[in-house]
Chains A and B, each alone.
Chain A
């Protein structure tokens, strides 16, 4: 279902570009959108996570980490300032998944669990499983520079809006102190676990920086890798049940086709 939406959006974008070209081509004038421009179609997979900047003291160990399969697809448009295609600016539209699964051991970790339907805030010591799976619609705004025929680098900002949000997991093998570290102790052991779901607290808007490089195999095909780092917190700032702010940090690797 999600993929269906995705492909419709992409089709729409591609046809937009195509129709723009069709309209513009007959008017044989120097045109901003046709002269010294390139269009790319890219697909990527992302590895990274929602992470605090520097792990807080509450996190005692990362027991497992799974980047999960996070895919993205992008079409972009580059306007070069000269016929040599040295410097240019690039924008586009990207649909991308950002997510991960982790299992960590925490001590005195402020959280909010679902216990028999009650949202219970407290300090948990034990094991926490976290699963993040967000889908974003992203517009990059980048400066591009071609070092030589094969290598190009780019960097700038990106702006995202979340179109599908999931941030949740469960706590187990430990205990919760209700309200604060001196509150009633509730032990979760054996099969007993308590779930949490912060999906509604995921920020709809994300912005950050993107830096990367691309390597052209030939005139059309290219490989690329870039890093994205979110400036604003993944979860709403006024959400108090987690005591530190988390940021989207991802390495994206993929290939593209340049028209």
Chain B
């Protein structure tokens, strides 16, 4: 008994000695833009802030020659040019430099303003190769869409498509085994219907993914944002669906080819509904303020949803010739389109319907090209 007390006293004393030596907190070394803002009335959707880029999607009424964005920074950090400085963004992105409180670290951000609404025809002809992964030696494709600028007659970038590629780049433990774009679930293919097209493949994350609870990765492409920092712990909350869209959509149309993989793996039996792999594509119009999105776990049940166009199961077939799909938008009971309200559109393509549950067949391959959203 007494030994026990002595022991406890010793533990306490040791803890106390250590604790009493806690030094003053060091100044922050981080140099982040945590949030970005301009007048709310100009924003079409919440600014997309990544680790080194800020994208504002704004309405045409904002004069891009004189914009003064405000940034919320890591506590203690400073930004150059100063917060609230008016700058001319009409000729493209500008850079800002953020300095940490400690002045030991700084980071350069690219800040861009896009004042065109998203297009409704998607050719999947424009993509860039981006380096990723922990060793920076994995390369994958990022699709983007452009539009001819009326004034300058130059191609202007409208938006980037989101995909899980940036996360897939981090499922590889080996520095030697650098991945090429065609090894990724989401990639461009030269065998498009017209020009290049989109190729989505359900890939294995082995050998290391299974340990981390994500045994496979379906190829996906969507309108919205893939938030890597969140996806680490909550994969379905890392996929944020939706981009500002203020028309009444009527039909989702496009071309596809599909080949399913051999072994349908079911990792989530609880929500599993199908017995063999099949592809999926859908568009959802939902009512949304600038900060509202649908997440990967929406399951078509969100109250914000107004209308849905989803590939019916009769069309989720295997075919090696380009096949047309043409799906009408159907309104959720009691919902109508109101031109006075704000909407967003989620448009999602996946090589495995239950990919978000990690159910799918490795090797399932979906080709997509020449997609269009018809509108009233």
- Listed in ascending order, the chain A residues whose CB lies under 8 Å from chain B are 47-49, 51, 54-62, 65-67, 107-108, 115-118, 120, 123, 175, 177-178, 180-190, 192, 251
Contacts and interface: CB of A to CB of B under 8 A. Distances in A.
| Most chain A CB inside 10 Å of its own CB: which residue of B18, B51, B107, B171 | B18
Contacts of B234: 189-190
B170 A115 contact: yes
Interface in B136-191: 170-174
B61 interface: no
Contacts of B7: 47
A55 B172 contact: no
A243 B117 CA distance: 49
Given A118-B134, A178-B134, A55 B232 contact: no
Interface residues of B, number: 44
Given A188-B233, A189-B233, A47 B21 contact: no
Given A47-B14, A184-B51, A190 B233 contact: yes
Contact of B232 (A48, A177, A192): A192
A30 B111 CA distance: 89
Contacts of B230: 187
B16 to A, nearest CB: 10
Contacts of B211: 116-117
A116 B14 contact: no
A115 B10 CA distance: 37
Nearest to A54: B21
A182 B232 contact: no
A36 B246 CA distance: 99
A124 B6 CA distance: 36
Nearest to A67: B11
| Most chain B CB inside 10 Å of its own CB: which residue of A56, A61, A120, A185 | A185
Contacts of B205: 116
B22 interface: yes
Interface stretch (B26-34, B122-130, B274-282, B299-307): B26-34
B1 interface: no
B291 interface: no
In the A-B complex, the 6 residue pairs with the closest CB atoms: A117-B173, A181-B29, A117-B208, A192-B233, A185-B229, A182-B107
Contacts of B339: none
A61 B22 contact: yes
A189 B134 CA distance: 20
B25 A47 contact: no
B314 interface: no
B207 interface: yes
25 contacts: A47-B7, A47-B11, A47-B14, A51-B18, A59-B22, A60-B25, A62-B19, A67-B14, A108-B28, A115-B170, A116-B209, A117-B174, A117-B211, A118-B135, A118-B173, A181-B30, A181-B31, A181-B100, A182-B100, A182-B105, A184-B51, A184-B228, A188-B232, A189-B233, A192-B233
Given A118-B134, A177-B30, A178-B134, A187 B173 contact: no
B24 interface: yes
Interface in B185-209: 205, 207-209
A102 to B, nearest CB: 9
B326 to A, nearest CB: 40
| Most chain A CB inside 10 Å of its own CB: which residue of B104, B133, B170, B171 | B170
B15 interface: yes
| Most chain A CB inside 10 Å of its own CB: which residue of B25, B26, B107, B233 | B233
Given A62-B15, A65-B11, A108-B26, A117 B172 contact: yes
Contacts of A188: 232-233
Contact of B22 (A47, A55, A180, A251): A55
B106 interface: yes
A178 B134 CA distance: 8
A186 B105 contact: no
Contact of A57 (B10, B26, B170, B207): B26
A182 B233 contact: no
A118 B29 contact: no
A57 B26 CA distance: 6
A60 B22 contact: yes
Contacts of B208: 116-117
Nearest to A65: B15
A48 B172 contact: no
A120 B24 CA distance: 28
A122 B194 CA distance: 44
B23 interface: yes
A187 B229 contact: yes
Contacts of B133: 118
A192 B229 CA distance: 12
B18 A65 contact: yes
Given A62-B15, A184-B51, A55 B170 contact: no
Contact of B23 (A57, A123, A183): A57
Contacts of B134: 115, 118, 120, 178
A185 B33 CA distance: 12
Interface in B75-112: 100, 104-107
Nearest to B31: A182
B19 A107 contact: no
A187 B11 CA distance: 33
A168 to B, nearest CB: 16
Contacts of A178: 134
A58 B29 CA distance: 11
